[in-house]
Amino acid sequence: MSAIPKRDRKTERREATRNEIVEAAWEVAREHGLAQLTLREVADRIGMRAPSLYSHFGSKNAIYDAMFGQAWGECEQVSIDALDAAPTDPRGLVRTMALTYFDFAVADLVRYQLMNQRTIPGFEPSPEAYAAAVRALDKVIATLASIGVTDRGDVEIWIAVLSGLVDQQLANDPGGHSRRKLIDRAVDMWADGVGLPAAKEAQK
């Protein structure tokens, strides 16, 4: 009979505190904007003195780094779950990918800004935090390759089209659905350009 591994309660408490700090940072950023994040306000949210935060994060940019990694990790998981239930026809698959990312992106402006826009002077994500973003992009590339889209230019155009719709939605109709309604047309226009079969053709 194998022994039950001992829990490292100190590490668990430390990780729980780090998670609490990150969640408080998201709250502050959503209320005041990413660039207005302060260690003092984050500390106040969790009943901690600001200098004590440095025992968990070495700087404010380290908190941004944890937020960045968390955001892309969530995006990666949402995408994986959606692809598991996606239709098999090429256009249906692309449409599922597009709607999943669009809905995730527009659901949280601050999260999207941190993930995709350089809104914080001097902040660069660490390789560890950036790894989730790389995996997410690799998943897009691999999924498109599975339906015959292997030209990197075609992939980049698709990313640009989808990102443009997200940006327009957030800038001009936050909380609305006007650009989401255009995704079907965008998918078909792009799919026509790269030669993906229509749904009926794919079923033959």
pLDDT of 69 above 80:
yes
Contact 27, 45 (CB under 8 A): yes
Model confidence at 168: pLDDT above 60: yes
Band (12; pLDDT cuts 50, 70, 90): confident
CATH top-level class for 61-203? mainly alpha
Average pLDDT over residues 60-81: 95
d(CA 21, CA 43): 7
Q: Which residues of 145-166 are buried (b: 16+ CB within 10 A; e: fewer)?
A: eebebeeeebbeebeebbeebb
- Write down the CATH number for the domain with range 8-58: 1.10.10.60
Mean pLDDT of 98-126: 94
pLDDT score of 1 more than 60: no
If phi > 0 it is left, if psi is from -120 to 50 it is alpha, else beta; for residue 57 that is: beta
Q: Is residue 204 predicted with pLDDT exceeding 50?
A: no
Regarding pTM above 0.85, the answer is yes
At 2, the pLDDT band (50, 70, 90 cuts) reads low
Q: What are the tens digits of pLDDT across the range 47-56?
A: 988 888 888 9
Taking a C-beta distance cutoff of 8 angstroms, is the pair 170, 106 a contact?
Answer: yes
Question: In the predicted model, what is the mean pLDDT of the chain?
Answer: 91
pLDDT at 203 over 80: no
For residue 67, what are the contacts with CB-CB under 8 A and spacing of at least 6?
Answer: 22, 25, 26, 29, 114
Summarize the confidence of residues 63-87 as an average pLDDT.
95
pLDDT for 14: 82
Distance separating the N- and C-terminal Cα atoms of the chain: 56
Residues 171-181: tens digit of each pLDDT? 999 989 999 99
pLDDT class of 119 with cuts at 50, 70, 90: confident
Q: Which sequence spans correspond to the domains of the chain?
A: 8-58, 61-203
